Amino acid sequence: MMIVMSPLATEEEIAVVQARVDTLPDVHVVLIRGELNTVIAAVGDADAVREMGLEGYAGVNSVVAISRPYKLASSEVAHHEPTVFEVLGRTVGGPDAFCLIAGPCTVESREQTLEVARAVQAGGASMLRGGAFKPRTSPFAFSGLGEPALEILAEARAETGLPVVSELLDIQHADVIAQYVDVVQIGARNMQNYALLAVAGQLGKPVLLKRGLSSTIEELLMAADYVLKEGNEDVMLCERGIRTFETATRFTLDLSAIPVLKLHTHLPVIVDPSHAAGDRRLVEPLSRAAAAVGADGLIVEVHQDPEHALCDGAQALYASQFADFARDVGAHAALLGKHLSADTRTAPAG
Ligand code: PEP
Ligand code: MN
């Protein structure tokens, strides 16, 4: 950390700050005298310096961090190699895999979910998504079928072989979510629900962590640290659009987030163009763009009858068109050497 003193700071003020930092056992203090400003460099335990609140001391201009505040998600500290993990034989992360997660926004019925599951499996999807507990802006909107939806997803997995992804909305659903799903999704609205992140980290399942609607990339990585801290290393991050002044799309897909994240974290990064766009006509071009900027995969909404979907119909791809979509996106991913992640487990003999 660098504590930059004001040009008007007195020697006494500088000495007070220096002495304060000097009380920290794991911090080495170096005083740098510039022409105008004096800088107190505090080398070592940055968190301890950060927590001192030195910005409020007389004579202090600013406190500037040199190292990044997220630790476990960082590729700069210890973990230089990309994180790669498998979900029922489908690879997530690494140089070769492009993970295509597809399915309905919400499980509405057995027939609807099985039909979409069959279509996305036939089209080359890597995993099936489907909401059982839905975060809805209005408390009067359809909020999912709950546990029966998870049973339907399990049936879809049994039939298609696709691993299932579903959102953990609340700590009280943790056991039932862990019982049924293969990947635990943390929704954008819960990205900073730290108690929920810790619970998600304890379930022994990979976690798909969505970026909050108004969260910075740094906050996303610090949220990931909450999951990683529980000893769960199988975390994928998801850019799903952020709030900006633009209203032409539901959210603004922050495509820069993907290469930025790739620079700073070892975790796989996927993109959700459906919730970002809010309009199915934009989903394919945004998916191609996501593949082109180096995403490790996509999560997209698909419905066999989007006009009658109970949630997010306008952004759902038609199930009948999914295979063409997957082929197109797969071709774009292939330009960067990535291929749609399929089950690589060898079939049991006999
Ligand atoms: C979802 O994936 O169903 C969802 C609600 O997404 P988000 O949390 O990104 O809004
Ligand atoms: Mn949705």
pLDDT in tens, 45-85: 999 999 999 999 999 999 999 888 898 999 987 678 999 99
Specify the pLDDT at position 271: 99
Choosing from 272, 301, 310, 312 the residue with most ligand 1 atoms within 8 A of its CB, the one to mutate for a pocket test is: 272
Does pLDDT of 203 surpass 80?
yes
Confidence of residue 103 (pLDDT cuts 50, 70, 90): very high
Atom of ligand 1 nearest to the CA of 190: 8
Q: How confident is residue 34, by pLDDT bands cut at 50, 70 and 90?
A: very high
Q: Is pLDDT at 347 greater than 70 in this prediction?
A: no
Whole-angstrom Cα distance, residue 101 to residue 257?
A: 19
Please state the pTM of the whole predicted model: 0.93
Q: Is 144 helix (H, G, I), strand (E, B) or coil?
A: coil
Asked if the model's pLDDT at residue 349 lies above 70, the reply is: no
Average pLDDT, the chain: 96
- Does the pLDDT of residue 334 top 80, yes or no? yes
What is the percentage of the chain residues whose pLDDT exceeds 90? 93
Looking at residue 53, its pLDDT comes to: 95
Residue 275 CA to ligand 2 centre (angstroms): 6
Q: How far is the centre of ligand 2, averaged over its atoms, from the C-alpha of 314 (Å)?
A: 10
Ligand 1 near 130 CB (within 6 A): no
Of the candidates 23, 41, 175, 116, which has an alpha carbon nearest to the alpha carbon of residue 317? 116
Answer with the residue of higher pLDDT: 346 or 19.
19
Beta bridge partners of residue 183, listed in sequence order: 165
Residue-level pLDDT at 68: 87
C-beta of 173 in contact with ligand 1 (< 6 A): no
Phi, psi for residue 297 in degrees, rounded to 5: 165, -175
Helix, strand or coil, per DSSP, at residue 198: helix
Task: Give the helix/strand (H/E) hosting 278.
Answer: none
Nearest atom in ligand 1 to 185's CA: 2
